[in-house]
Amino acid sequence: MSITPNTREYRNFELRSKNENEPDDSMILEGRAVVFNSPEVMYEDENGIQYKEQVDREAFLGTKLDDVILNMNHEGQALARTRNNTLQLELTEDGLNITADMSKSRASRDAYEAVQNGLLDKMSFAFTVARDFYDENTHTRTILEIDRLFDVSLVNFPAYEQTSVSARSYYEAKAEAEHRAAEAAKEREEKRAALSERLNKLEVE
């Protein structure tokens, strides 16, 4: 799967209950969905080259965040929602934080208890990218503008600890393209060297 502007991507992050070591009747979950300008290794090829990704601090400035839901595994019943103020999204200098009130339904209370009991400790968020930039020298993709944030989700089994299938495909494709370019450049250099050697021999003769 290659990443296009319409490809929905997923990234994982940590979550915790607000007072996870103390009795808490408020049933609040907190997490940081995105850390800005912090390159994360998304893929490493067979040569040990690391392909990284970072989110620019201004990536969410044009993103609509007025109706984002929290759910389970990116599907099913909403556990919290920005539209009714049970889900809060906060943009800071460092990243995008989430706070969710899990007291409003049986499903959300059950999910909160699962977090407190250590049965759930990962989240994922689903989004599409409007604009990005890839630096071939550092092998780093910078997400400059996020078009839409679909949801944040509690997940049972993240596909990968740091990334998703679509993201891995993106970086695998980048690695393959760079390898092909390097091989083509090497082949051209070898041909130039061989031609130069033949010309030198003709001049000697």
* Integer Cα distance of 30 and 19 in angstroms: 10
* Integer Cα distance of 118 and 131 in angstroms: 37
Per-residue pLDDT of the chain (205 residues; tens, 9 = 90+): 445 556 777 777 767 666 555 445 578 998 888 889 988 888 888 888 898 989 999 999 999 888 999 988 888 889 999 999 999 999 999 888 889 999 999 999 999 998 888 888 888 888 899 999 999 899 999 999 999 998 888 888 664 343 344 455 667 777 787 778 778 878 888 788 777 777 777 666 6
Q: What is the pTM of this model?
A: 0.70
Do 15 and 138 meet the contact criterion of CB atoms below 8 Å apart? no
Do 52 and 141 meet the contact criterion of CB atoms below 8 Å apart? yes
92-98-104 Cα angle (round to 5): 150
Strands 50-55 and 140-154: parallel
* DSSP H or E run through 90: strand 87-91
Do 99 and 26 meet the contact criterion of CB atoms below 8 Å apart? no
What length does the chain have?
Answer: 205
